[in-house]
Amino acid sequence: MLKQLLIGNWKSQGSVEEIHQFISAIGRLSAPENVRPVLCPPFVYLDLVKKRLPVGYSLGAQTCSFNLKGAFTGEINANMLQDVGCSYVLIGHSERQESLDILEKQMERAWESNLVPIFCIGEEAPSAWYSLAKKISYLSSISSASPFFVAYEPVWAIGGKIPPSCGYLVQALQYLKSHLKNSQGFIYGGGVRPENLKEILDLHMLSGILVGQSSFQQTVWTMLLAILETYGKVCKKQV
């Protein structure tokens, strides 16, 4: 069964006590068989989260260094991430504002460490898809032997702002899919909430969902999981 990814990007929030509370709460519920939940905490909490990761969950990092090990003070390289149990790494989140040259090197470091990159891409303003041309050109050149997911996150919808309409999403995803046939799948992020998740899933165009700060709210996270589980059961009956 193909599993839907549910990725929680906690961004720069959390504490030891809050993480213990969060994982204690979500750990009481097993991960749905049709969902692969991925938690992406800040670097300093990766090991803590790994040690308490619920069954069926995977660990992800919010970024990685484009350097290998060496004299790079403050940098966290991909080998370190793999060493503490990460399976995934976000690359190119718009909040980091990194150049394409840096992103390409980060992708290489991720593959070298057997991490699956989730490459974030999105336009600054509605319909400004022309601004994605260089990133699309790079991604389209990647060999199918190098796995990666594309996370479509329109910049203007990130941070709890008004998400794009489903009609707009269809157009955007069709555009990306027509150019990036080598991707493992497409993930959507930007204004995702329990109230609109089913509508987004009903497009039948996605391999997963990427949720930002609200993913660190236990009630929101469990609601998202429940919706994805129900969605999977419905789809299974229809097959």
Q: How far apart are CA 122 and CA 132, in angstroms?
A: 7
Both tokens of 72, joined, read 């790079």
Contacts of 228 (CB under 8 A, 6+ apart): 4, 6, 32, 34, 35, 197, 201, 209
Q: Which residues are catalytic?
A: 93, 153
Q: How far apart are CA 29 and CA 6, in angstroms?
A: 15
Q: How far apart are CA 189 and CA 211, in angstroms?
A: 6
**How many C-beta atoms lie closer than 10 Å to residue 182's C-beta?**
16
Q: How far apart are CA 65 and CA 235, in angstroms?
A: 39
Q: Which of 41, 23, 141, 52 is nearest to 81 (CA)?
A: 41
Domains in the chain: ranges and CATH: 4-238 (3.20.20.70)
**How many C-beta atoms lie closer than 10 Å to residue 7's C-beta?**
24
Tens-digit pLDDT profile for the chain (239 aa)? 579 999 999 999 999 999 999 999 998 888 999 999 999 999 999 999 999 999 999 999 999 999 999 999 999 999 999 999 999 999 999 999 999 999 999 999 999 999 999 999 999 888 888 889 999 999 999 998 999 999 999 988 877 667 889 999 999 999 999 999 999 999 999 989 999 999 999 999 999 999 999 999 999 999 999 999 998 765 555 54
Q: How far apart are CA 117 and CA 232, in angstroms?
A: 25
pLDDT of 234:
59
Q: Is 34:207 a contact under the CB 8 Å cutoff?
A: no
How would you class 9 by CB atoms within 10 Å of its CB: exposed for 0-12, middle for 13-18, buried for 19 or more?
A: buried
**Coil, helix or strand for 171?**
helix
pLDDT of 161:
64
How many residues are given for the chain?
239
Q: Which of 216, 183, 12 is nearest to 95 (CA)?
A: 12
What pTM, to 2 d.p., does this model score?
0.94
